[in-house]
Structure formats: C-alpha cells, structure tokens
Amino acid sequence: MTHSKTKTSLYRRAYVTWLISAGVNTVPAIMEATGMPRRTAQDTLAAIPELSIALENKGGSYSVVDWGILNKNWLKNNLEHVKDVLLYP
C-alpha cells in the first residue's frame, strides 16, 4: 500500500519524537534506529516544531518538552503501524 507524503511526514515526525522521548535523542542515534540519512534526520528534527511539539536541544541531545498536538498514548498504541508505514525496523 502506498501512503501519502502528508501521512509519512506526520508519522516520521511523530516517530522521531517518540524516539527522543525513549532516549534515542541524537542525530546519529536516530539515523541508526531508523536507517534514515543524516539530512532527513536533521530536516525531520527541524520540522517537528511545526506540530507545536517543543523540543530542547542541549549540545546535540534532544528532549521533548511538550508533545503539542501529538497524542502520546495513540502513538504508543500504534507504534508498530507507524513503523510499518515508514518501513522502519
């Protein structure tokens, strides 16, 4: 099944936010966990605030300050689906 760019973009941002909250919170760690290229990881991190999600960056280590419009419980319950849509391990 093919998914829209809008859906995959939202899911990518949500998943990276989830990873950050789980301690996978640097660009290299996100790249390793997802297989995404450095530029995609950096672009995704830069786009996360568009969802009213507040991140804090301390020396290249990110943390989630506010989940914004994301429902953390929905994401937790649908994490495998999100990963499947994104083709992430």
For residue range 20-75, what is the model confidence (pLDDT) as tens digits? 999 999 999 999 999 999 999 999 999 999 999 999 999 999 999 999 999 999 99
* DSSP-assigned letters across all residues of 23-70: T--SHHHHHHHH---HHHHHHHHHHGGGGT-EEEEETTEEEEEE-TT-
Residue 35 to residue 37: CA distance in whole angstroms:
7
Contacts of 11 (CB under 8 A, 6+ apart): 3, 82, 85, 86
* Domains identified in the chain and CATH numbers: 5-84 (1.10.10.10)
Whether the pTM exceeds 0.85: the reply is: yes
Give residue 79's pLDDT band: very low, low, confident or very high (50, 70, 90): very high
